[in-house]
């Protein structure tokens, strides 16, 4: 798990907050951590009762840090090299810790089933705050500054992110109550966003600071790694090795090869771009079909699917009539499509990642622009053959340049990380593990 101290991560808290219950402290919040508790439950102790049946013991509660009563100005961590102005208080830690609890949907931090996750988060939070202190000090030592334009860009990014969060809250609220006016939605979204900040003890300055530290670290990374190099020829070698690996992967198992991921690097000869309009079964029908297939009752599943096509036949016929009348396929795809994506697929020979029927249909179409229909477990898929797809030299060159830039950035980051380890030793922060629940 990696904590993210950015506005993007704050969005998760907004989603939780603007749920139907509209409360972080709702009963549903325990469900947000169900994956964690399920993963950890396998190690839960069991005891046998007098009948010999095994029952799961309740995990021991862990001491709360959020409700510990520790004074906010208590020193949680401090440098041992005498550097001034770098102490970290319990209040500094608690603000970010409460944010973690809110974002993760935890009612509290005493649930023993989440003890390992919570303890790991505590460690990551104090580590992140220590890094914040150190890199800001080093930023000043390097004589580096943030320009007015950069400061304005930071504020713009934060404010844009906040507006996106509020828009997401409005969408959730509107889905729960479609009688709300836009003015009411805006007011409630504003209120609920402010509630997130208040619950975490956050201010706008904290949000600006989180965005600012990202820029500071990037500028330090660029400065420390200014002499780092990674040539185009080196990137070409890496790209060649990657392509060889993709070819081997495809040759060994074409059915599971997902060419969409590598469309700018390498795709097998004969690959096609197609567009599709799904006229889908409802989720219950699909689920029942998958249950039959899981039970190796494929004939029954096929028969059930054939019967259920009648439920979607009228809509399918309506769309096909419009296609045959020459209406624009893209507009029909936008109007009728049910697959939740953009309706465009890269199909490689032999792939089954979209289903065998879909691939066979896509590959059977003779000419670009022609249309055919696949009957799948999802429903009717109306498929249009767009064109054959290849990776040309210009595309591969651009991808190699992108890889070169990525690998160069990796080299810079490696140098930054090495330097940061030296800085950590220099400052030698001592952490009060007891008050942070890390002992």
Strand partners, 376: 379
Report, as an integer, the average pLDDT of 356-379. 96
Could you report the per-residue pLDDT of 45-81, keeping only the tens digit for each? 333 344 444 455 566 666 677 777 899 999 999 999 9
- Residue range 123-166, pLDDT digits in tens: 999 999 999 999 999 999 999 999 999 999 999 999 999 999 89
Q: 268-388 has which fold?
A: Chitinase A; domain 3 (3.10.50)
Percent share of the chain, pLDDT over 70: 85
Going from the C-alpha of 359 to that of each of 286, 365, 383, the distances in angstroms are 19, 10, 10
User: At a CB cut-off of 8 Å and minimum separation 6, what does 119 contact?
Assistant: 62, 437, 438
**213-230: pLDDT as tens digits:** 999 999 999 999 999 999
pLDDT at 25 (0 to 100): 27
The per-residue pLDDT of the chain, averaged, comes to 86
Q: Using CA atoms, how far apart are residues 26 and 145, in angstroms rounded to an integer?
A: 44
Which of 31-45, 237-251, 401-415, 418-432 shows the lowest mean pLDDT across its residues? 31-45
Domain ranges of the chain: 7-25+56-227+420-431, 268-388
Q: What is the pLDDT of residues 250-287, one digit of tens each?
A: 999 999 999 999 999 999 999 999 999 999 999 999 99
Question: What's the pLDDT score for residue 52?
Answer: 46
Distance CA 266, CA 159 (A): 40
DSSP 23-44: -TTSTTHHHHTHHHHHHHHTT-
Mean pLDDT of 332-353: 86
The answer to pTM > 0.75 is: no
Task: Name the most confidently modeled range: 32-41, 189-198, 235-244, 340-349.
Answer: 235-244
């Amino acid at each position: 798990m990696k904590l993210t101290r950015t506005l993007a991560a704050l969005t998760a808290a907004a989603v939780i907050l603007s749920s139907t219950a509209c409360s972080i402290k709702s009963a549903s919040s325990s469900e947000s951590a169900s994956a964690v508790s399920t993963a950890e439950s396998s190690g839960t102790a069991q005891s046998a009762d007098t009948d010999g049946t095994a029952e799961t013991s309740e995990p021991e509660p862990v001491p709360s840090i959020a409700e510990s009563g520790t004074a906010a100005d208590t020193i949680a961590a401090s440098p041992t090299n005498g550097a001034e102005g770098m102490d970290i208080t319990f209040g500094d830690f608690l603000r970010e810790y409460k944010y973690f609890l809110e974002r993760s949907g935890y009612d509290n931090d005493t649930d023993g089933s989440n003890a390992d996750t919570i303890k790991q988060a505590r460690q990551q939070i104090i580590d992140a705050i220590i890094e914040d202190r150190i890199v800001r000090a080093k930023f000043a030592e390097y004589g580096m500054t943030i320009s007015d334009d950069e400061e304005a860009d930071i504020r713009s990014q934060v404010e844009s992110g906040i507006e996106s969060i509020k828009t997401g809250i409005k969408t959730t609220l509107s889905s729960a109550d479609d009688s709300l006016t836009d003015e009411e939605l805006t007011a409630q979204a504003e209120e609920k966003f402010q509630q997130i900040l208040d619950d975490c003890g956050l201010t706008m300055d904290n949000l600006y600071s989180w965005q600012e530290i990202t820029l500071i670290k990037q500028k330090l990374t660029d400065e420390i790694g200014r002499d780092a190099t990674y040539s185009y020829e080196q990137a070409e070698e890496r790209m060649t090795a990657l392509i060889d690996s993709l070819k081997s992967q495809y040759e060994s198992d074409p059915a599971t090869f997902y060419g969409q991921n590598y469309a700018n690097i390498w795709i097998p000869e004969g690959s096609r771009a197609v567009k599709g309009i799904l006229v889908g079964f409802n989720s219950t029908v699909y689920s029942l079909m998958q249950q039959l297939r899981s039970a190796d009752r494929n004939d029954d599943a096929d028969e059930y699917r054939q019967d259920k096509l009648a439920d979607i036949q009228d809509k399918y016929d309506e769309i096909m009539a419009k296609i045959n009348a020459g209406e624009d396929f893209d507009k029909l795809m936008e109007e009728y499509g049910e697959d939740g994506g953009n309706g465009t697929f890269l199909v490689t020979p032999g792939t089954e990642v979209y289903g065998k029927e879909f691939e066979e249909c896509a590959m059977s179409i003779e000419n670009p622009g022609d249309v055919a229909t696949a009957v799948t477990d999802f429903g009717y898929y109306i498929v249009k053959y767009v064109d054959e797809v290849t990776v040309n030299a210009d595309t591969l060159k651009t991808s190699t340049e992108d890889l070169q830039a990525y690998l160069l950035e990796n080299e810079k980051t490696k140098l930054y990380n090495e330097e940061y380890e030296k800085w950590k030793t220099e400052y030698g922060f001592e952490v009060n593990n007891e008050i942070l629940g890390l002992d």
